[in-house]
Structure 1
Amino acid sequence: MSYLLDSHTLIWAIMDPGKLSAKVRRILEDTDNRVLVSSVSFWEISLKYSLGKLDLQGIVPEQLPKIIIQIGFELIELLPDEAATYHQLEANWHRDPFDRMLIWQAIQNKMTIISKDSHVASYKSVGLKVIW
C-alpha cells in the first residue's frame, strides 16, 4: 500500500517517533508499504524553518531528502498536472495551502495520507483516505 506523509508526520518520524500512533509506527516499519514524502513537505518545512517557526534540532532542511532516502522512504515530486488541477479540490475545510496540496496529491494518486490533523481528516467525504 502507498502512504503519503503529512509534514508533521515526517518530522515526528525523524525526530520524535514517540509522537506517532502505534498504528502509524507499524505502517512505517512494514517494508511491504511504500512510504512517500512529497516535495511539497520540503517546501513547507523549509519555509517554516526560515521563519523561525520550526526547530529541526540541528538538522537543516537541505539534509532532509538524504535522510528520507536513508530511512527507506520515497521522494515524490509535485507534478504539473497535479498543480494545474488543484482548483478541483472544491472543499475548503483546511486553510493551509501545503496541507491542501498534499491532500490533492493523495487523492489524485490514490494514496492514504498519514496525518493527525483533524482538518485533513475532514476531506474523507471527497475521497481522501486518512490514517492516524
Structure 2
Amino acid sequence: MKLLLDTHVWLWSLADTARLSKRTLRMLHASSTELWLSPISVRELGDLSDGGKFEHRGSFTEWIEQILERTRPIEAALDHRVALATRAIALTHNDPMDRFLAATARVYDLVLVTADESCSPAVASRHSRRETVHAVRDHSSDRDAVTQGTDQLRRLRFHCAARLRVAASRSAGVG
C-alpha cells in the first residue's frame, strides 16, 4: 500500500504514536507499505517549529534532514500536475496546505493518512477509487476511528479531532 502521510500523522508517527489508531500503526509498519511524503509537510513542520509547537534537537534544518535520512520516505514531488489538481479540490476549510496534500494523493494515486476528516472527500475522484484513512484514535469509545473511502467517512461521527486540537493547544503541542 502506498501511503501519503499528512503533516501531523508524520510527526505523531515519529514522536507521539499514542495519538494514532492501531490500524494506522499496523499500516505504517507493514513491510509492504511505501511511505510517501510531500515537501508541503516539511514546510508545515518548519512553521510549527518556528511557532514553538514542538521541540527538537539542534536547528530545524539539521533535525529534519536527520529524520528524512532515518525514515527515507518517498518524496511526492510538488510539480505542475499537483498544482493543477489543487484547482479541483473542494475542502470545507480554506487551508492551501491541505489542498496540496489532497491533490498529491490524487495525482500519485496514494492513500492519504490524515487526522483531518475534511480531506477525505477531496481525495476521492469520479475516475478512480482512492481512499483516505482517518488516523486518529477515538478515545471516547476506546476503539479505532478509521475510515476508508468517502461513503464510510460520511457515516462515521468524529469527536476525537476537536478534542485533540483543544488538548494540544492547552499543552502547547501540535494541533
State the identity as a percent.
21
Match of residue 81 from structure 1 = 81
Unpaired stretches in structure 2, ≥5 consecutive residues: 136-175
Q: How many positions carry a matched residue from both structures?
A: 130
Name the CA distance, whole Å, in 2 between partners of 1:60 and 1:11: 16
CA 1:122–1:53: 2 relative to 1, 3 Å: farther
- Normalised TM-score (structure 1): 0.84
**Distance apart, 1:79 and its partner CA:** 1.4
Q: Using CA pairs below 8 Å that are at least 6 residues apart, which structure has the higher relative contact order?
A: 1
CA contact (8 A) 1:112 1:128 kept: yes
Name the CA distance, whole Å, in 2 between partners of 1:120 and 1:59: 33
**Distance apart, 1:57 and its partner CA:** 4.1
CA RMSD of aligned residues (A): 2.1
Match of residue 17 from structure 1 = 17
Match of residue 107 from structure 1 = 106
Name the CA distance, whole Å, in 1 between partners of 2:115 and 2:25: 13
Match of residue 115 from structure 2 = 116
**Distance apart, 1:34 and its partner CA:** 0.3
Give 4+ residue runs of structure 1 displaced > 4 Å after superposition.
none
Q: Quick check: 100-109 or 63-72, which moved more?
A: 63-72
**Distance apart, 1:60 and its partner CA:** 4.4
Q: Secondary structure of 2:87's match?
A: helix
- Normalised TM-score (structure 2): 0.65
Q: Secondary structure of 1:77's match?
A: coil
Match of residue 129 from structure 1 = 131
CA contact (8 A) 2:106 2:124 kept: no
